[in-house]
Amino acid sequence: MPLTQRGPKTLLITTGVFLFIGVLIIAATAQALPFALFVPALYAVFFDRVHPWFKFILAAVIPVTFILAPGFIEGVVLYASLIACGFLIRRFLTSRNAGMAVFAPSCLMFFLFVLSVWIMSMQEGVSFQTIVSRWVGEVMKQVALVYNQILSPGDLAEFRVSRSAMETRIAQLFWGIIASSVMSVMWLNVLVAAQVTKTVRLRHWKGPDWMVGFFIIAGFFILVNYDAIRILGLNLMIVVSQIYFFQGLAIVAAFLTGYNWSKVVRWVIYILILSQIYIMIAVTALGLFDTWFNFRNRIRSSEGER
């Protein structure tokens, strides 16, 4: 029986694969994390070929693990959350709502991350910011070990002088960075799922016009001479800029496709964009000004695109 059909053999094989992936993530969470990041896309693609009882079994495993094997509860919750993200991606892609396909699972993962930090802070009797500062310090220690091997003595001395200020700034922007990172991961999952399922074309996606209001609010907060409000504005600006970066990429993709540029050239351009911070800023600005100029309506479609 071909695997494209929703027969018993297909359901058994596909469900078994996802159970195997779950065991890997639960038993070796840290080692499997790079692969786990793309589980939502995998589940969104094969959603129709997984046994309906899979979701209920996974939901039942959480309390059972909490009672019998609490040491594995983090891995179980992570895997269940990734599967839930895949379900949300599939649902919103099916309804052709690419924006919500990124936003909804991003909110879910961000909420669970905040909840985990809150639980950790309650267990240790410390504040949120203490946990964050400790994490940032541990990361900077690893960065310092790498820099000790590759930087010149002068650059290394400069890094040591500025390290404290860098740690403070990163801790202040931590939540914006996490939210932006989560959205980036979910955007990649949506990109893969949409490409495979052929449900939506992300190059046509455009953020809601009211998003510019958050951009203006973030800019105003940054200018306020009060640390708490300014830090809130900076974190909000990171998130809003990430959204406009996605929109800018969609415009670039529409341009390249509209003029029938080869796939090799497109990949080179995408890699160039993602590897150069100044080009990323330009693409973000392109997404922002698309609110008023609607650049994709100005792109002349090629014969192939029509």
Pair of tokens at residue 89: 């991606």
How many of the other CB atoms lie within 10 Å of CB of 144? Answer: 14
Per-residue pLDDT, 301: 47
For residue 73, what pLDDT is reported? 83
pLDDT tens digits, 74-124: 888 889 999 999 999 999 999 999 999 999 999 999 999 999 999 999 999
Report whether pLDDT(4) > 60: no
Alpha carbon distance 211, 297 (integer Å): 20
d(CA 209, CA 289): 11
Q: Give pLDDT, residue 7.
A: 62
Could you state, in order of their start, the residue ranges of all structural domains in the chain? 1-124+177-200, 203-306
pLDDT above 50 for 33: yes
Res. 304: pLDDT tops 50: no
Interval 44-78: pLDDT, tens? 998 888 877 777 777 777 777 767 777 888 888 88
* Mean pLDDT on 250-263: 89
* Residue 305 confidence (pLDDT): 46
